Structure 1
Amino acid sequence: MDLRRIYVVTHPESDHHVDRLVGGWYDSALTPTGLNAARAIAASLRARIPNGSGVEVYSSDLIRAAHTAEAIGDALGVVPIVDTRFREKSYGEAGGRPQEWLDRRFVPPPAMGERMAHDEGIPGAETKIVFAQRIYDAMGTVLDSSCRHQVIVTHGGALTFAVSAWIKMPIESADYVSFRAPSGSISVLSEDDFFHNRTVAELGSVSHLASP
């Protein structure tokens, strides 16, 4: 059976990780370690995707993702398609501030009850439903393409909804879902052309980052 594959990349280490700042829409750059990891990600994808295959690369516009996508695009010989919908969740006024600033003000969602529209107490922050709908819409664009090999360069939080959209989880049922993957990871989503079953073949793989 032939497989359609989508490779979801979470950008590697960036300045806000090192400086313990809130990411979100804060436009931090990759660190030197992150740049090296971006090249390793690109090499891994080049080895995974057969030469001569059609391939598309989609990316968040935030610098840390866009620079990762540029390395991947160079390795695959394609120009990344920038899509702002693949940005990380917006943390509003918390973006770029120390993580402890957010931690002191954050209102966690309730264990039961309304979670998707929950107000986290941070002015300007996206609710979970707004964030999820944005990623679901972006995934719809990716899936409308007939390309058999696609790469999405996004962020750790956005990964959850990229995966839940892939498995066709109704968005109203995504109030508890969480897929975790480290920075610089590759997750592989596949669909066969017979049953058209959708699989999460790999989640958060970082084997490409291992020291030689």
Structure 2
Amino acid sequence: MRTLYVVTHPEATHHVEGVVGGWHDSQLTPAGVRAAVSIAQALRAQIPDGAEVELFSSDLQRTLRTAEEVAELFGVKPVLDRRLREKSYGEAEGRPQEWLDRRFIPPPAVGERMDHDEGVQGAETKASWAQRIYEAMDEILQNPYEHQIIVTHGGSLTCIVASWIKMPIESAGYAGFRALSGSITTLREDDFFHNRQVISLGGTCHLDSAKAG
């Protein structure tokens, strides 16, 4: 049995400043740090004591800070992988969201979506974004751990789930698995059928304690 817990980092400074995230290296807000503590505690409550745990994280500050809270409770060191970053928005990163909104060209309803040019210089296509995450997932799943944790970004969650269910990358242009910041998605593969299940998508019940604090 393998269980994969996918964490989307909680509130970061680019959220409250209204600027584009992507590879812009924003940090967790104080509320985000409290949420990261709650995420770590929720994972600790779900994973049996003594179980071997492997932890992976995007290398941006907001995900690394989240992973550090998890690492402290499990006594492990996060493996940083830049392939787990959010989609790059090129020259829009760090600019006001409305700057991007004025220039963004959405993908067509029918036709080429994976290599679609969004009209922003330096931005990744969905094809290149998905390709790097699929490659990272292939390597992560080669490791024989029963419990693995990935700390990533809200947008990248879609590519992770698509990879998990073995959706052909050329079909991922229409995929969209949305989750709030600070969520935990639980994925499980059984030992008999080797079916890859989505046990829960974007769970946030653990954040109630962070809000109360």
TM tier, shorter chain?
over 0.9
Q: Which residue in the other structure is 1:31 paired with?
A: 29
In the aligned structure 1, how far is the partner of 2:62 from the partner of 2:96? 18
Match of 2:183 among 175, 182, 185: 185
What is the number of equivalent residue pairs in this alignment? 210
Q: Which residue in the other structure is 2:107 paired with?
A: 109
In the aligned structure 1, how far is the partner of 2:73 from the partner of 2:33? 14
Match of 1:67 among 55, 65, 68: 65
1:138-171 per-residue CA deviation (whole Å, 9 max, x = no partner) reads 1011101001100000000000000000000000
Q: Which residue in the other structure is 2:13 paired with?
A: 15
In the aligned structure 2, how far is the partner of 1:138 from the partner of 1:95? 23
Taking structure 1 as the reference length, the TM-score comes to 0.98
Please tell me whether residue 54 in structure 1 is matched to residue 52 in structure 2.
yes
Letter of the structure 1 residue corresponding to residue 74 of structure 2: L
TM-superposed CA distance for 1:185, in Å, is: 0.1
**1:12 counterpart SS class:** coil
TM-superposed CA distance for 1:210, in Å, is: 1.0
Q: Which residue in the other structure is 1:90 paired with?
A: 88
Match of 1:195 among 193, 196, 200: 193
Taking structure 2 as the reference length, the TM-score comes to 0.98
TM-superposed CA distance for 1:113, in Å, is: 0.5
Q: Which residue in the other structure is 1:168 paired with?
A: 166
In the aligned structure 2, how far is the partner of 1:75 from the partner of 1:140? 26
Unaligned runs of 5+ in 1: none
Unaligned runs of 5+ in 2: none
Please tell me whether residue 136 in structure 1 is matched to residue 134 in structure 2.
yes
In the aligned structure 2, how far is the partner of 1:97 from the partner of 1:169? 33
The 4+ residue runs of structure 1 with deviation greater than 6 A are none
RMSD: 0.6
Q: Which residue in the other structure is 1:118 paired with?
A: 116
1:17-62 per-residue CA deviation (whole Å, 9 max, x = no partner) reads 0000000000000000000000000000001110111100000000
